[in-house]
Amino acid sequence: MKMIREHHLRDLHWLPLPPGSFHGCLLLALCIGTALCACGADDHGLALTPPMGWNSWNRFRLNISDAVVRKQAGAMVKSGMKAAGYEYVVIDGGWEGYHDAQGLFRPNKLKFPDMKELCDYIHSLGLKVGIHTTPGPVTCSGREGSYGYEEEDARTFARWGIDLVKYDWCSGETAYKPTEITAAYEKMHQALLRAGRPILYSLCEYGLDDVWKWGASVGGHMWRTTDDISDEYWNVTYIGFEQNGLEKYAGPGHWNDPDMLEIGNGGMTDEEYRTQMSLWCILAAPLFAGNDLENMNAATLGILTNPEVISIDQDPAGIQGHRVWQEGPREVWMKPLKDGSKAVGLFNRLEYPLMITVNWRELGLRAPGTVRDLWARKDLGTFTTGFTGSVAAHGVVLINVK
């Protein structure tokens, strides 16, 4: 969210230690990229699969209040989204008031009269609460940020019962040098640890300074890899397909975040929304809906809650998928799954239907493959050398291959 500024743990190699060695008390690991140390002493076991929830920004912008958030939280439960795995209700920019004389962050009282009571209500629904702030002096919409109040704000968030902090760079460049961005995020990380509550730490800095290389080292459970998303096919696909190559930095406890879902906001067709959902799930991306949950139609709800598609995103192996083949507007992406099968997306980036073929050898398969269509939720049969599907304009065929 920006308004001011436009603009592995998967592969661990354990070191053998002789019995009785004075080093025996240490768990040593060499991690891919800058992934978290396997000790995981301060991550509280959070985000072992990509986080799922709802964020207020895409649909409501600054027009949020206690009443709006309560209604959206209730709709998350009533609609079946909670049952599908969505659990975080994130209050993005627009809640902020000011820091008082004691340094306590006060919400805008007209919009959020009692943040602690609101958090208690959301928790009573079996959901979790997220909140937005910035390492800079002001947020992206010009409201007070956490600069100089990191310790106080972390304690306040813990006292309210906050479960996720989205730390948005916003005006960070006015308070920190370009070389200090990592230190700015580490400062809030340490403050959150001292606050004593397990809080998922979401870094929002638009991919600056290759955040995927250092995000985990400052306690990040997820980090934005891109500029802000918009409800347009060209933007969603540009962001999504540009994630290729970042898969080595993702895994249980730390995820690349290509920003929120635009599904249901009206700027794209249902076929295009299925493309975003499919690609985000292959990417093992956090799934944060950004629509009006109270007023979504059956198609939107079906896209957001398809259990077979979500299971690809939430696969416990935690492997981010990647592109295995491209020819012009045709792309094939693959995500290995814990049970040995593979999720495969056939994407058509043209404005008319295309036939797309994937050969099993491109997926590292030599035997015949049994194919299931995950959007249609039906078995398609066994195919000897590969699979060919008719893919709608700007659409996707998402299959599971065993």
Annotated catalytic residues are: 168, 228
Which of 317, 356, 314 minimizes the C-alpha distance to 338? 317
Q: How far apart are CA 192 and CA 189, in angstroms?
A: 5
* Partner residues linked to 130 by β-bridges: 90, 164
CA dihedral 142, 146, 148, 149 (to 10 degrees): 130
Which residue type is seen at 324?
Answer: V
First to last CA, the chain: 40
Q: How far apart are CA 201 and CA 199, in angstroms?
A: 6
Length of the chain as a residue count: 402
Q: How many of the other CB atoms lie within 10 Å of CB of 340? A: 8
CA dihedral (81, 231, 163, 252) positive or negative: positive
Q: What's the farthest any 2 CA atoms get from each other in the chain?
A: 72
Q: How far apart are CA 269 and CA 66, in angstroms?
A: 31
Q: How far apart are CA 224 and CA 101, in angstroms?
A: 34
Burial of 351 (0-12, 13-18, 19+ CB in 10 A): exposed
Q: Are 127 and 76 in contact (CB under 8 A)?
A: yes
Q: Which two tokens stand for residue 210?
A: 């290759």
Q: How far apart are CA 257 and CA 243, in angstroms?
A: 9
